[in-house]
Structure formats: structure tokens, C-alpha cells
Structure 1
Amino acid sequence: MNILLTNLHYIYIISILAIIIAMALKRDISLICIIGIFILGIFATNSIFKSIMGIFNSFVYATKELMPTIFIISIITAMSNVLVVVGINKELVSPFKKIIKSYWACYWIIGIIMMTLSWFFWPSPAVALIGALFLPIAKKVGLPPIGAAVAMNLFGHGIALSSDFIIQAAPKLTADAAGIKVSSVVSASIPLTIIMGAVTTITAFYMLRRDMKNGNIDRNFQKEELAAEEEKTTIVIPIFLRKLLTILTIVIFLSDIVIMYIYKLQGGDATALIGGTAIFILSLISIIAYGKRCLEKITTHIVDGLIFGFKIFGIVIPIAAFFYLGDSAFTEIFGKVLPASSHGIVNDLGVAFSNIAPANPLLASGTLTAVGAITGLDGSGFSGIPLVGSIAKLFSTALGGGVSTLTAMGQIAGIWVGGGTIIPWAVIPVAAICKVNPFELAKRNLIPVIIGLLVTTVFAAFLI
């Protein structure tokens, strides 16, 4: 595949390098993204006013794409607030307190349960369920919110989403592009998933434990936060009624899981079910707890949730707006100015990189990792993996085999980077639920994921 790189491609690369440098210096990158959008617009349209329009339109596009996530986070936050006010949150976590006695046990239990649920329903709806149940326990046993966020992120958006053993949406995309069976990709990804998952989660836990011991993670705020939560329990209801509502909440969410399994709901549909359920629970508990004041209080909780959601996402929209231009958003905003053979700036860069890489098992594996990571920069994780399958097929032809392993390697790299562990706005669902900075979460994930990809890439080379 021959791809013609234009000035737009090189401007995009330079902008990404500037963003990486700024992040390394711990500086905000919103302005860099805005400037990058403007310069891309200038070269695409040769018009200053159209470039200025492009900045606004890219913001609108990013907001539209992120809106389902903004809403689910806002609604779950609204529901969680009323659970705290009534004291149901304490009842929900009480059974787990007897099992989880230390922060390290909490880290692994949160991760494993998150991974299991994510295999069946994908991470987005699982985040809401896990966060509501386990975050209070994490605080009690001394696991910082950033630690809980890392566990949820790596196990859910990393291991579960990149392997996708149950739903098999990712393997199907890559398998179709590579011209092989889905089962071949799934089988090939099992050992790679084990290596990648083990290396990243163990490395992340080691770094977390080290920083906690060295005092690099301030744990004092947890006591203040817990005290604040204690004060929030302002509505006193009979104990038997509180326990009944707790059981009802659990039963309703478990029913959601059964419904998602029976009707094969996934992605947006599963998230919609969880979101609608959260609104139902919010309304029901508010009616019982507030009585005559329920009409006003329901609205107050919803508004508070929306304020929280948009506050969290406000810093991310400019960044998402820039990175979405790496895919189909560019044509929608600036018109058809890319070459006819182009599949989007990010995909073009991935193909160009693969064309200059020599063919031997290690370099082929490394190339698929790099291409997967590059295509993951658009933040979806899935948009670029068909390209990974095509490139894997090319390399396997030159090597005389290994198409399944190469395809699985590219799939893992693309989804780990773009599916929710590295790209800042992709980590927002977890960051919002755990109330941590998404950029801090992305930075904490970065080293474990890089180490995991390097080790898994070398391992994959021996399987080809």
C-alpha cells in the first residue's frame, strides 16, 4: 500500500510531538491542540475564517462524540449522590468490608471483577457498577482513588477490551481485514493478552505501592473525603427501609446484567440501559427519601450531576477535537482535501510507517505494535484496527506465516493505546467515577503500558 503524505500529515505529526513534549513537562495542552487545529485548517482550506470556523466545528464534533459518556457519568454521579445522602452507599459496601482488608487486595479484586464484567458488557457500563460498589471500600482500606482508577482502567479498557473474547467485535474487525477466521485471532491473542495483562498490572501495582511508601501519593485527603461523605448522610430513613432499598438497587443492576446477556446488548446500548436504570433508581429513592420535596430534589441532583460531568469533560474537549481530526472528522469539518487514497491522517501515517519497516519476525511484530499504537491516537481504539489486519497480512506474506499473531499484536496495541488507557480523554469514564484527573491517570498508565507492549512485542516475535 502506497500512501502519499501531504503537508497536513506532517503538521499533524509535529503537533503530536509538541503535545507529547508539553505533557512531559506537565503543562496543559489545550492551547497546543487549538493551534494545531487552526494550522491544519489553514493548510486544508487556504482560508483564515474557515480555519477559525473549523476550531469551533471541531469542538462541536468532539462534544457530540463524547456526549453519551458525559451523560452516563453525570447520571451515575447524580444517582450516587442520592445514595450517599440516604446512606445506601454504606449498606452496599458493607458485605465486601469483611473480604477486602488491605489496599493491595482491593486493587486486584477491583481489577479482576472489572475485567470479568467488561468481557461480557464492555468497560463503559462496567465502570459505573464497579465504581459505585468498590470506590468507598478502596478509600476505607487505603487504596487511593488513582489506584482504583488504574486497576479499573488496565483490567477493563486494557485486558478485557483488547482481547474481547466474549463479544468478539475487535477480533472480527481485524480478522476480516486480514482474511482469516475470528477464532484464529482469538486463539493467537490469548498468550499475548496474558503477557500484556500480567506485565502492565504488576508494573502498575509496583509503581503505585512504591509511590505510596515514598509519600508521592498524598493519602491524607482520603480521610477528609470520607468525613465529607459521612456528613452527606442527611436523610434519616428507617433501617429496614434503607436495607430494602439497598437490596432493590442491587437486584435492579443485576437484572441489567442478565438483560444485557440475554439480549446481547453491548457498547452504547448497554450504557443506555445502565444510565436509564440509574435515573430510575435516582427517582425512586428521591420520592421515598424526600417526599413532598422530591420534584425539586430530583432536578437538583440531575443538575449537580451534569455540572460535574461537564466540568470533568471541559478540559478534554479541545484535546479530543484535535485528535478526532486524525480520522473521519477531518473530512467532515474541512472537506475532502486529503488524497483520494487516504483513509484518514492517522491511518495514513500507520501505513507509511509499515512501508519503511523491514520484514523479519521482531521488526514485523514491532511494526504492528507501532501501527496499532499510532492508529489508536484517535482515541477510539477500534477505528484503526482493520488497517492492522491488512498490514499483518502483508507482513505474514513476506515472512511466510504468523498472520494471526501479528493481527492479534496490532489489535492489542491499538486498543490499549486508543481504547482507554493512554489517550487522556479515553480514560475519562474511569477518571470521572474515581474523581481523579484524567491526565494524571493517563500518565500513571503510560510506563506500565509501554513496558507491557515492549515485552509482549518481543514475545510475539517468537510465536511467529
Structure 2
Amino acid sequence: MESPVVLGLTHWVYLCGVIAIIVTLVCRANVVAPAILATFATVFAFSGHFSTALEAVFFAPLTAARELFNIFLVISLMTALLNALKSINADVRMVQPFKALMVNGHVGYFVLGFVSYVLSLFFWPTPAVPLIAGILLPAAIYAGVPPLGAAMCIGIAGLGTALSSDYVIKVAPGISAKAAAVPMPLVADKALVLSLVTGVVAFLIAYVRIRRYIEAPDVRNLERWESLEVTANSTLLSTKGGRARIRRNKPQHASVGDGGHGGSTSRPVGVAPRDLLTPTQERWSRLFAIVIPVSFLSIVAYMVLPHVIPGFKGASGNAAAALVGGVAGLLMVAVAAARDYRSVCRRTSEHITEGFVFSFRAMSSVLPIAGFFFIGVAGTAAPILGLPAGVPAPGLLADLVKAGEHLIPHDKFFVSYGILLAGMVTGIDGSGFAGLPLTGALSGALGRAVGLDVSTLAAIGQMGSVWTGKTMTAWSALAAVASFARVPVLQAVRHLMIPVLTGLLVSTLVAIVLW
């Protein structure tokens, strides 16, 4: 029998830090300062050494950078490719075939969501998001979907709905079922239903909230979007030779300089005119407008084939993300050479630099926040707490959830929503999967104690953990989605909270009624 969890000063200080960050988020303020102060206070409470706490302020974002650099790199390479495509106008040509399907922003929103769900269901969002960003996101923006709406759409459909069920790859239900000691298919089937309920509710609420910002299809939508630069809290419309305009914490939906209507004939402020191309460059532009989608669709097929052909190796997870990034890098060099082979070395360097500047501008402030939450996870806390190699780190988050287990009344409503809350608490580390062993174990213990279906509780906990970790934390894959959509990641988090929380509450109620 497990010994009861004893909460010490470190646990309480860490909990106060979590609450402070959540309150700051709700108040729509930047959470970097609270995260840094909470990191210092937590490590000081743990070690008792002032110097160790000071070092933690450095080691926390450093640890987060190690964990998240793959996201930085994929963003950088895909942004570099997009900038290269802009130089030969292939980005505009590439979206032309989707005009027949995405006849307007309303249709584009739902098409983007459906494709995001299907791709993410088969090989997880990490490699799927760059593919969507490279193929469909520009088409959706052209059709009139606002950038914030696109980010919410991909986040809800891909990171939330698809990954929370993980019905094809079945890693998440496998972890939950093993911890709960129930057959995996029972958890997988219930998780699929609950993920769809949560996703549909969140998706429709998000659509209602952004539909009035949807514009008419226009190439200027794409040009304005490509001119945006983002940080965690603001959007900058870059200008050449003029003043820049900063929009803080507002959806990027209105045209700049045209009163917010797509019918103006004037060029938006800050959008530089496209360079004139030679006949040879025009031919290259048409070629790459075909090559880019075909290349990424080939990667899609390569990832899907293992599910169709037994024994076919394919690629998944980190390997799939690396494949996407590698292809993007090579294509970027090829496009730069097509633009002007004599300056390919200079242009390639410029595109790579622009890509990294873009990714670090968008995500750098996320690192101190992620670093604080990594203190609560046993697998990442050791270097931040100053522990020597081989010394296990405490799992502060897991301890807090276990310690509060006895406070949940033995009623099916309280137990179900208690498991959901436990999943949400463990999900704030940004992983989504790290808390599944805990929610599974709690489901097994509480479900058998009060006579509730254990597989149902495990599926509910899985929903809370994955949806929170992937759609309501700025230090998860949502940062990549927001960066590709060119919207502030903290803004995306704030706008996703109401749709996702509503979806989780509704799906948990559905689980109680159905099972």
C-alpha cells in the first residue's frame, strides 16, 4: 500500500506559483514575471540556498529550451521556406487550387479543421502542424479565415480532438488503461466519443466567436498575414521605410489602412509590393507551387502507409517531425537557387536567420514559463532544483494531486469532475501525456471504491490532461500552431480557454449520463 503524501513548504510555494500564473493569465497580463519569481521562490524553499535559487532562474528556461528546441527548429525551417516562396510569388500560386474548395472563410475554417483532425489522428500533431502550415494554412488565410481563428481551429481539431483520443496510434489510451488496470479498447472507445464531444463543442464555440472577423477571399489577406511578426503578447505589422503598428491582444482580422473591409482597392499599410519576376523565375514559381504541396503530401503518404501496409516502417513521432523539417530545409535552398542562383548562399543564410528570429520572437518568452512548470515534473526538475546526477527529483504536481484525492466526495459527479480536474492539473506541464499514469491510477482507485466504470473515469482524466496540456498551455505544441498562424501564443491560450473548458464540462457530463 502506498504511503500517504506529505506536503512540505516546497509544495505549497509551488502551488501558490501555479495559482499566481493562472490568475495572471485570466487577467490577460504577461506571466513571465510571475513565472520567474515563482521559480526563484520554489527552488529557494526546496534547497534553502539563495545561490541555488538564483541559478534556477537561469537553469529553468535552459531546461525548457532543451525540451522545446525541436519546436523552435521546425518553426524556423518552415518560416524560412515560406519566406523563400514569397520571393518568387509561389506562396500565392500554391493556394490557387484550394480556392475552388475554400470558397470563403466560413468553409475554409471547417475544411482546415477537418484536415487538421485527420492528419493529426494518423501521426500526431507534431509533424502534422508543419504540413498543415505549409499546405492549407495559407489557403485558409487567403479565403478569409482570420489568423487567430486558424490557430484556434488547428489547436482544437488537431492538438485537442485528435490527440486526446489518440485512436489510431493508441499511446494515450494504452497508458491510461495500464495505469487503471482495465482493457485498453474500453478506454480507447470511450476516449474517442468524449474527444469528439469536446471537440465539436469547442470548435463551434470558437467559430461563433471569430465568424464576424471572417473576410472575403482576397490575396491581400495573405499579404497582410505574411507581413505580421509576433511576440508572445503582441502582433507587429512590419513596414519598410515607414512606421510599424502594434496590435496588442486583439484578433488579427481587420485590414490595416482599409477600415477592416476587404473591398478597398488600396494596398494595406506595411505590405511591400511583390518583386517583378523574369520569365524564368515565373516558370520556377509555377513549378514550386506544385512541388511544395506534392512534397508534403508525399510525406503524409509515407507516414500513413504503416497503417495500411503491415510491416512498412514509415515514420512517426520525432522522426516524422524531423522528416518534415529536413524536406523544408532542402526545398528552401532549392527555391532560393531558383530565385537567383548567384546569390543562393546569401539568400539561404538570410532565410534561415529570418526563420530563427521569427521563432525566437514568438516563443522566447514561453521558456521561463515552461521552466517553472517543469519544476513540478519529476523527469525535468532535477537540473532546475540543483540536484546532482542520479538523485531523483520530487514530482510536485503529482504529489499535490494525490494529496487532494481524499477531498473528492464519493459521488459519481464529484468523482468524475474530480478526475477531470486532476487531469487538467497534471496537464499544465504542457506534455498532456505525462499525467496519464496518475489519472489512470486515480481512476482505478476511485472507480472501484465508489462503483463507477473505471474505463470511463480513465477516459475523462485523459481528456483533462491532453486538452489542457496541448490547448491551454503556451509552452506546448500550441506555441508552434500560434507561430505558424502568426498570432501571439498567449492570446491563443486566452481565446481557447472558454471553448475548451466548456467542451470538457459537457463531455464529462455526457460520460456520466452514457456510462
TM-score by length of 2: 0.85
Deviations along 1:233-276, whole A, 9 cap, x unmatched? 45544544322222222222122122223334222111100000
Aligned 1:409-448 pairs, distance under 5 A: 409-418=460-469, 420-426=470-476, 427-448=478-499
Aligned to 2:39: 37
Aligned-residue offset at 1:336: 5.8
Aligned to 1:205: 207
Aligned 1:204-223 pairs, distance under 5 A: 204-209=206-211, 218-221=253-256
2:292 paired with 1:257: no
Identical columns (%):
30
Aligned to 2:447: 396
Contact 1:102 1:142 in 2 (8 A): yes
Aligned to 1:282: 332
Of 453-462 and 227-236, more deviation after overlay is shown by: 227-236
2:68 paired with 1:66: yes
Contact 1:346 1:377 in 2 (8 A): no
Contact 1:30 1:318 in 2 (8 A): yes
Aligned to 2:401: 350
2:440 paired with 1:405: no
2:97 paired with 1:95: yes
Aligned to 1:48: 50
Aligned to 1:166: 168
Q: In structure 2, what is the Cα distance between the partners aligned to 1:172 and 1:461?
A: 22
Aligned to 2:128: 126
Aligned 1:367-386 pairs, distance under 5 A: 367-386=418-437
Q: In structure 1, what is the Cα distance between the partners aligned to 2:125 and 2:272?
A: 29
Deviations along 1:122-143, whole A, 9 cap, x unmatched? 1122211212223333333322
Distance 1:258 1:230, change over 3 A: farther
Tell me which amino acid in the other structure corresponds to 1:147. Answer: G
Aligned to 2:345: 295
Aligned-residue offset at 1:342: 8.2
Q: In structure 2, what is the Cα distance between the partners aligned to 1:389 and 1:35?
A: 33
Distance 1:143 1:52, change over 3 A: same
Instruction: Mark the runs of 5 or more structure 2 residues left unpaired by the alignment.
Output: 216-249, 307-312
Tell me which amino acid in the other structure corresponds to 2:154. Answer: M
Higher helix share: 1
Distance 1:259 1:228, change over 3 A: farther
3-state SS in 1 of match to 2:315: coil
Aligned-residue offset at 1:25: 2.3
Tell me which amino acid in the other structure corresponds to 1:400. Answer: G
Deviations along 1:66-97, whole A, 9 cap, x unmatched? 11000000110000100111111122110111
Aligned-residue offset at 1:335: 4.8
Contact 1:256 1:274 in 2 (8 A): yes
Aligned to 1:314: 364
Aligned to 2:273: 231
Tell me which amino acid in the other structure corresponds to 2:63. Answer: Y
Aligned to 1:179: 181
Aligned to 1:459: 510
3-state SS in 1 of match to 2:136: helix
3-state SS in 2 of match to 1:378: coil
Contact 2:164 2:462 in 1 (8 A): yes
Deviations along 1:412-458, whole A, 9 cap, x unmatched? 1100001x210122221011001000011000000011111111111
Of 14-23 and 382-391, more deviation after overlay is shown by: 14-23
Distance 1:341 1:410, change over 3 A: farther
Instruction: Mark the runs of 5 or more structure 1 residues left unpaired by the alignment.
Output: none
Q: In structure 1, what is the Cα distance between the partners aligned to 2:126 and 2:492?
A: 16
Contact 2:197 2:507 in 1 (8 A): yes
Tell me which amino acid in the other structure corresponds to 2:480. Answer: P
Deviations along 1:141-171, whole A, 9 cap, x unmatched? 3221000110000001000010111111111
3-state SS in 1 of match to 2:475: helix
Backbone CA RMSD of aligned residues: 2.3
Tell me which amino acid in the other structure corresponds to 2:126. Answer: S
Q: In structure 2, what is the Cα distance between the partners aligned to 1:4 and 1:313?
A: 36
Q: In structure 1, what is the Cα distance between the partners aligned to 2:503 and 2:124?
A: 21
Contact 2:382 2:393 in 1 (8 A): no
Q: In structure 1, what is the Cα distance between the partners aligned to 2:276 and 2:368?
A: 38
Contact 1:149 1:431 in 2 (8 A): yes
Aligned to 1:79: 81
Q: In structure 2, what is the Cα distance between the partners aligned to 1:124 and 1:341?
A: 29
Deviations along 1:93-123, whole A, 9 cap, x unmatched? 1011122122211111101100100011111
Q: In structure 1, what is the Cα distance between the partners aligned to 2:57 and 2:395?
A: 18
Aligned to 1:112: 114
Tell me which amino acid in the other structure corresponds to 2:255. Answer: N
Aligned to 1:332: 383
Q: In structure 2, what is the Cα distance between the partners aligned to 1:275 and 1:217?
A: 27
Q: In structure 2, what is the Cα distance between the partners aligned to 1:326 and 1:157?
A: 23
3-state SS in 1 of match to 2:428: helix
Distance 1:300 1:211, change over 3 A: closer
Aligned-residue offset at 1:10: 1.0
Q: In structure 2, what is the Cα distance between the partners aligned to 1:412 and 1:400?
A: 21
Deviations along 1:3-48, whole A, 9 cap, x unmatched? 1111111111111221122222222111111111111111111111
Contact 2:52 2:386 in 1 (8 A): no
Distance 1:229 1:160, change over 3 A: farther
Aligned-residue offset at 1:181: 2.2
